[in-house]
Amino acid sequence: MSPRPQQPLHRTFPYVSHLRVYEPLDVFDDGQQLAILDQRSRGRHETEVLERSDAVRRLVRAVSDPFPHGSSDLVRVLHYPGHEGSTRRLYCPNQLAVRASLAAESLGESIRGPLVDVLVPEVAREAHAARIDPDSFADSLARLHTRSATWGVPFGWFVLLHEDDHSEVVEDDGKVQTVRLAAPVGQSLERARGAMASLALVAPELDLLDELDELTNWLEVFSEDAVLELDYGPVADLVFPDDSPSDVRLGIESLAEGDMTGAAASYRRLANRWIPIRQLARAS
């Protein structure tokens, strides 16, 4: 399906999408469970508002310091369909302190010169590092529940989720605020491994193969009862309804069958949909 005509670009940038793993309460340690129980009744919309408000407060501090401190970590709650009409309640800790550290490190690798110190001052980085407990940091890093992407959804994520998975469309005043797809982690792993097996035989040079290998290694650390969620974020308003999951799947199947025309057609549809959005990262 062709992308929707782009609307005036006056919303907050950049567009950020998330891939999150939700797990049952008993997977977390006692301290984490207490934090979860304090927040388990809060609605998803309220959590998103709290996160955005906290981000704004960090950005407008009188002293430049984008790192979180002095606030409890947020927890997202997913109500996922269970057996015989029941609903499972699963949890995804925000792990903001660890993710902020990783983001600052990534920024330092992508931007050189004095601009890094303007955006993330060295004194702020040192203060943030001093606030973090090394043991909890290592544990969170080993089980990082959230991956983020700006200016579009990575194609590898579409291998893990299908268009007919459990879905939620969040709209407000005629605009799509986000679309969320969710599936059991075990099912997502099967999809990733199947795609990797096909690509390894017919297209081992594709970057998608490395991306899927990284995603598989990430998902394998979580419990068998975990659920994976793709949260498009505000970019959903530019692409929904989105055929990307089926286009990626058809592209891989075409490659496996030696159908280069079909594979090229799938990639062309994906490129027409996502390249204009990714180009916004370089727009003035």
Model confidence band, residue 2 (pLDDT cutoffs 50, 70, 90)? very low
Q: What is the mean pLDDT of the chain?
A: 85
Q: Whole-angstrom Cα distance, residue 220 to residue 238?
A: 32
pLDDT for 129: 64
pLDDT for 84: 80
pLDDT for 198: 96
Answer with the residue of higher pLDDT: 175 or 64.
175
Closest CA to 216 of 250, 193, 240, 239: 193
Residue 228: helix, strand or coil by DSSP? strand
Q: Whole-angstrom Cα distance, residue 104 to residue 66?
A: 9
Answer with the residue of higher pLDDT: 195 or 120.
195
Predicted model pTM: 0.85
pLDDT digit string, tens, across residues 166-210: 999 999 998 999 999 999 999 999 999 999 999 999 999 999 999
| pLDDT for 20 beyond 50 | yes
pLDDT digit string, tens, across residues 217-249: 999 999 999 999 999 999 999 999 999 999 999
Q: Whole-angstrom Cα distance, residue 263 to residue 256?
A: 9
pLDDT for 224: 92
Structure tokens at 271: 């490129």
